[in-house]
Amino acid sequence: MEQFKHKDETYKILGACFEVYNEKGCGFLEPVYQECLELELGFQNIPFRSQTPLKLNYKGRPLKHTYEPDFICFENIVVEIKAVRELCDDHRAQLLNYLNATDIEVGLLVNFGHFPKLEYERIVNTKKKPQQ
């Protein structure tokens, strides 16, 4: 069986997410989990950038609008967090858009609002970006 891309890194990130969920539980708003996960990623020495604007283009021209994923970890995994009852297709589409806007193939969609346990999905973008 073929190993999936960035397996060790995604496990480390998810470990940090489980630590936050075990400490805070569900019921808080997303900004609380954002701040807690920033701290936990730092505690676990996981390299990350938080809410970094991604530049977008249309037919080779830069757009004024940007995307801001919650985290980019290890420079090759986009992490989008939620604090909702359950994940839906709109959340998956949001993460896929982040992946399409970058050269990053792997994303984690993590929901801290689910009870009784952390909900997460690993999404891989197999669509190749066209050369500009």
The pLDDT tens digits for 22-47 are 999 999 999 999 999 999 999 999 99
User: What is the CATH number for 83?
Assistant: 3.90.320.10
pTM metric for this prediction: 0.91
Distance CA 116, CA 52 (A): 31
Range of the domain at 76: 7-124
The answer to whether 74 touches 47, Cβ cutoff 8 Å, is yes
129 pLDDT higher than 70: no
Q: Is residue 114 part of a domain?
A: yes
Q: Is residue 1 part of a domain?
A: no
51 pLDDT higher than 60: yes
Q: What's the total number of domains in the chain? A: 1
The answer to whether 111 touches 119, Cβ cutoff 8 Å, is yes
The answer to whether 12 touches 44, Cβ cutoff 8 Å, is yes
